[in-house]
Amino acid sequence: MGVHHSRSGPRQLVTPSRFRSKAAFASFAAVSPILASSGLTNRHRINRSSDRQLNRALHTITLIRMRLDPTAKTYVAGRISEEKTSRDAQRCLKRAASRQLSKILERSDRTTRISSEQLDAI
């Protein structure tokens, strides 16, 4: 379940050779966690600086997954039962979608062509 690639994907060319790791891609996609703790509260927030179009596409993907995908629904329910917020669960889902997209881009770098089925699988 995901987003149709022609509607909400990033408009610029993202080559996987630009990134040294999945964490670097997550930072580029603005989904890398940043420590936002104070006092006894230990939590993270999302890095809001970087490619906003890619971040918006990942945001849409996670919203659709949270509403329609049964595994994402159980994941969010488990996070909420751990006393996390829905936004925290969405942050983790964004990171997972970023990892999946990074893998697809790495594979496509070898084949030099991304099929629409691969993008729809995100």
pLDDT tens, 102-122? 888 777 766 655 566 666 666
> Which letter, b or e, does each residue of 49-71 get, where b requires 16 or more Cβ atoms within 10 Å of its Cβ?
eebeebbebbbbbbeebbeebee
pLDDT for res 101: 85
Any idea which residue has 């990892």 for tokens?
Answer: 99
Are 71 and 23 in contact by the 8 Å Cβ rule? The answer is no
pLDDT tens, 69-100? 999 999 889 989 988 888 888 888 888 888 88
Reply yes or no on whether the pLDDT at 9 is more than 60: no
pLDDT for res 107: 77
User: In sequence order, which ranges of 50-122 are alpha helices (DSSP H)?
Assistant: 52-68, 70-81, 86-111, 116-120
Q: Name the amino acid, one letter, at 99.
A: R
User: CB-side exposure of 50: number of CA atoms within 13 Å?
Assistant: 17
